[in-house]
């Protein structure tokens, strides 16, 4: 049976420039000029979902605010993505990458954390992240890399886009956000030479209001081949995931946004909805059983101590 990575590669094969006989690592950059549109939320939940269905996933926090690192239940480690950018000895890059990668709160999902000191000055070459991924064990070990970015299209975001096979652009349905997308799309396709076929715009935080429906229609008119059909709704559970360090598909499975994220996964990746629901439910049952055992053990320990 073909792996998801193989199916994804074969489905999008004309879009890949790789000529190596090995299956390429699938790299996705998540970007937008505007802040507050859900880049980190989308990156985190897609990465967790892929890992839950047994893909080997590396999330890279390419943002000095390191929100993705925090959402994955991690602190900033001794080594971060900044150390990889500043590495001048290619012989040390592989070991440095191993030292920087942390296990997240989901099996199969690892993270290279961001750093508060991370800046555009750390990028000496736009292809630096491309080399980090291709010249280390990362390219052969992982199936997917998802890169979360600070708002903008400066050097940090440019190295992310240069390394990516696909670019995902989450957006909210507001006038300023829509206005900025046209300029960003033009820069991606004309300045950074990203094929339009590789760009997916993901409407996010949707409230079923007349004004937002009008913005959604405008978005589809502007980018008829790039807007995801699945629109992610507004859901307060997203805030709970952050404050309570929970995982959407395992701890808040019954929330309003979960079926929409699953539909988005089917749209963006070669899943069937039935297989995805089945795999996630299986992992969720195992997760809940594990948590129940942990609570029981802690209860017994307290009873013994008293």
Q: What pLDDT is attached to residue 1?
A: 44
Identify any residues that bridge with 60 across adjacent strands, giving them in sequence order: 112, 147
Interacting residues of 272 by C-beta distance below 8 A, sequence separation 6+: 266
Contact 270, 7 (CB under 8 A): yes
Q: How confident is residue 17, by pLDDT bands cut at 50, 70 and 90?
A: very low
> Which residue, 173, 145, 135, is CA-closest to 62?
145
Q: How confident is residue 270, by pLDDT bands cut at 50, 70 and 90?
A: confident
Q: Give, to the nearest 10 degrees, the angle between helix 273-305 and helix 258-268.
A: 130
3-class DSSP assignment, residue 17: coil
Average pLDDT, the chain: 91
Pick the CATH number of 4-274 from 3.40.30.10, 3.40.50.150, 3.40.50.720, 3.40.50.300: 3.40.50.300
Q: What pLDDT is attached to residue 50?
A: 96
Residue 12 has pLDDT above 70, yes or no: no
Q: How confident is residue 21, by pLDDT bands cut at 50, 70 and 90?
A: very low
In angstroms, the Cα distances linking 214 to 50, 58, 165, 218, 267 are 32, 37, 31, 6, 23
- What's the rounded mean pLDDT across residues 167-175? 96
pTM value is: 0.90
Q: Is pLDDT larger for residue 102 or for residue 7?
A: 102
Q: What pLDDT is attached to residue 261?
A: 96
Of 49-58, 72-81, 254-263, 291-300, the poorest mean pLDDT is in 291-300
Helices (H), the chain: 4-11, 39-52, 67-71, 81-86, 90-100, 128-134, 138-141, 155-163, 175-186, 210-222, 237-243, 248-251, 258-268, 273-305
Residue 192 has pLDDT above 60, yes or no: yes
Give the percent of the chain with pLDDT over 70.
92
- What's the rounded mean pLDDT across residues 241-256? 92
Of 35-44, 190-199, 240-249, 297-306, the poorest mean pLDDT is in 297-306
Q: Is pLDDT larger for residue 260 or for residue 296?
A: 260
Residue 7 has pLDDT above 80, yes or no: no
Domain ranges of the chain: 4-274
């Amino acid at each position: 049976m073909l792996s998801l990575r193989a199916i994804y590669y074969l489905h999008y094969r004309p879009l890949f420039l790789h000529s190596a006989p090995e299956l390429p690592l699938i790299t996705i950059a998540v970007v937008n000029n505007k802040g507050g549109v859900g880049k980190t939320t989308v990156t985190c939940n897609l990465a967790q979902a892929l890992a839950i269905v047994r893909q080997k996933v590396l999330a890279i926090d390419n943002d000095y605010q390191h929100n993705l690192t925090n959402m994955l239940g991690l602190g900033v480690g001794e080594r971060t993505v900044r150390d990889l950018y500043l590495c001048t000895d290619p012989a040390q890059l592989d070991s440095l990458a191993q030292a920087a990668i942390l296990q997240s709160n989901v099996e199969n999902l690892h993270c290279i954390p961001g750093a508060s000191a991370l800046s555009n000055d750390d990028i000496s070459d736009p292809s630096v992240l491309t080399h980090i991924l291709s010249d280390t064990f990362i390219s052969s070990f992982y199936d997917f890399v998802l890169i979360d970015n600070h708002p903008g299209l400066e050097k940090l975001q440019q190295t992310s886009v240069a390394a990516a096979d696909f670019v995902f652009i989450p957006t909210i349905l507001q006038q300023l956000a829509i206005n900025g997308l046209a300029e960003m799309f033009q820069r991606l396709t004309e300045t950074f030479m990203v094929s339009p076929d590789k760009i997916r715009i993901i409407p996010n935080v949707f409230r079923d209001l007349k004004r937002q429906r009008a913005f959604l229609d405008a978005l589809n008119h502007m980018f008829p081949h790039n807007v995801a059909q699945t629109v992610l709704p507004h859901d307060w559970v997203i805030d709970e995931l952050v404050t309570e360090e929970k995982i959407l598909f395992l701890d808040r499975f019954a929330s309003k946004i979960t079926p929409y994220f699953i539909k988005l996964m089917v749209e963006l990746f070669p899943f069937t909805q039935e297989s995805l629901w089945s795999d996630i439910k299986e992992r969720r049952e195992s997760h809940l059983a594990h948590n129940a055992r942990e609570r029981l053990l802690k209860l017994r320990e307290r009873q013994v101590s008293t």
